Structure 1
């Protein structure tokens, strides 16, 4: 497996996250009015942070990557503990389901019970956010060649905070797609969908099938709903002509810019490799060196 593409998964995710952070929740028209096209790391804006600041997307992905590297494999209890330690650091950005699940975990629920309890007590429309798909790409590197195990660890990693099958299988489909890209597959998303066709929720499959077969979609949604986020991010990540174009396109759509940018960035990074990510972006992100090192460590686990 190509180390540059493995690095691209983690660094692409982080570039999309950091580029999207200052315009999270903004409409596309508002981004255009202020920046024309946002393609540079800028400071302040949403969350009032310096340029290149990462959010919960990358911070939770780092929790997973560090755990995988230190334990030489997937340990969901350790990952949940790391999420709690991060939660206790008072992050400026955290999703509602994640926060509720981690509070349940702190109160004594098992790692695989807390997220389920929150999900079962959440109404439709508030029970299938994108908070687990944005952080799951590190798993695609060490398990890229074992798809059964990759589906299992992807779903379990989601269940810590997001137990809805649209979320758990969303993580699986994204990571299978990344694994296919790391293996230079011709039809990575279609291969991923075919692999889980018997089990994944129908809405998730049919929505992503439109991207896999290359259909033109008039309007792509940018909400925090996991199905919308995956469709839009996979569209931009798989169809853009460069890693920079994929991330810039995703972020400038507005809405949940950091997360859709992060997912699109992971996909584009796996397609094009970290060398194709702009140096001006990577130099603005404090975590770049650690992410490169973690990607190399995870590659050794394959």
Structure 2
């Protein structure tokens, strides 16, 4: 566990909750713009900066997409199992699918159906299955493994491979997860070192100069998230500029919100967004954050 006594439980909670609520706000804000181009967005909305719903899914104001729904489901599976159990996670995803979610990717649908039909917890390796769907679910694991790196890497692979078995996706997810952990623990220097180390090893993810593509491909996703994370100085600007790139705006916006929330804390989230977000989602996120951090403490005590 981090020995820095200046990092209090309240400051950890503020950043962890900021990451989770930032994720949901980025999802809800970006859902309106999914599959649009920046030019179409500008022509239709000018600068889209309020959670209004709509979009191709026709969402009510404040509702989220599969990115947040699956993260909430994964968190609840961890909480109810009092730790990590990939079979429990898989069973919870089956229940989630049975409720006919508004949106679901082909890879996720394929993975859940495979498990339901065969019991197989791992998708076959696929060089082309480098979408951002698995990466979008890393936050619960980053929270429960806040002080445990070995468990984080192992469990992350199991989580990823349930729907996306791809080494590019794995490496990007691991980097982003470590980045969130460092930011929540206020280890800014380590966070920047992690990014630099990752780009040195994986130059295809280089984001400066920014290529300008925001899509569900993991390389485009990471480049967009890191670009706006580094070129803005507030949570609102980071999320707003990210989603206004369009493309896979809900998922990319959610991940940008996760990083910005971990960096700036929950107090940086605009009050209007918190009021516009579905209140049931907000309350569940608050409860889950508290419990996941408690489980992180428990795991750290069991494995010092």
TM-score of the aligned structures, taking structure 2 as reference length: 0.88
Instruction: Mark the CA change 1:218 to 1:299 in structure 2 (over 3 Å): closer, same or farther.
Output: closer
| Distance apart, 1:268 and its partner CA | 0.4
Of 52, 58, 68 in structure 1, the residue corresponding to residue 68 of structure 2 is: 58
Q: 1:59-98 maps to which residues of 2 (within 5 A)? A: 59-98=69-108
Matched, 1:40 2:50: yes
RMSD over aligned Cα, in angstroms?
1.9
| Distance apart, 1:16 and its partner CA | 0.5
Query: What per-residue deviation string (whole Å, max 9, x for no partner) do you get for residues 174-221 of structure 1?
Result: 1101011111122344443588x7xxxx9972234x35xxxx314231
SS of residue paired to 1:292: helix
CA contact (8 A) 1:155 1:171 kept: no
Of 221, 241, 244 in structure 2, the residue corresponding to residue 249 of structure 1 is: 241
Matched, 1:296 2:290: yes
| Match of residue 104 from structure 1 | 114
Instruction: Mark the CA change 1:36 to 1:194 in structure 2 (over 3 Å): closer, same or farther.
Output: closer
Of 157, 175, 194 in structure 2, the residue corresponding to residue 192 of structure 1 is: 194
| Match of residue 128 from structure 1 | 130
| Distance apart, 1:280 and its partner CA | 1.3
Q: How many residues align?
A: 284
| Match of residue 3 from structure 2 | none
Instruction: Mark the CA change 1:8 to 1:137 in structure 2 (over 3 Å): closer, same or farther.
Output: same
Segments of structure 1 that go 5 or more residues without pairing to the other structure are none
Matched, 1:267 2:287: no
| Distance apart, 1:230 and its partner CA | 1.4
Instruction: Mark the CA change 1:239 to 1:184 in structure 2 (over 3 Å): closer, same or farther.
Output: farther
CA contact (8 A) 1:193 1:205 kept: no
CA contact (8 A) 1:61 1:137 kept: yes
Matched, 1:235 2:227: yes
**Structure 1 Cα separation of the partners of residues 147 and 193 of structure 2:** 13
**Structure 2 Cα separation of the partners of residues 138 and 82 of structure 1:** 14
Of 160, 164, 167 in structure 1, the residue corresponding to residue 166 of structure 2 is: 164
**Structure 1 Cα separation of the partners of residues 101 and 90 of structure 2:** 16
Structure 1's consecutive aligned runs of 4 or more residues displaced over 4 angstroms after TM superposition are none
Segments of structure 2 that go 5 or more residues without pairing to the other structure are 1-8, 297-304
CA contact (8 A) 2:29 2:53 kept: no
SS of residue paired to 1:248: helix
Query: What per-residue deviation string (whole Å, max 9, x for no partner) do you get for residues 15-49 of structure 1?
Result: 00000111100001111111110000113222011
Matched, 1:137 2:133: no
Instruction: Mark the CA change 1:138 to 1:240 in structure 2 (over 3 Å): closer, same or farther.
Output: farther
**Structure 2 Cα separation of the partners of residues 188 and 270 of structure 1:** 14
Matched, 1:278 2:270: yes
**Structure 1 Cα separation of the partners of residues 153 and 191 of structure 2:** 14
**Structure 1 Cα separation of the partners of residues 18 and 95 of structure 2:** 27
CA contact (8 A) 1:20 1:261 kept: yes
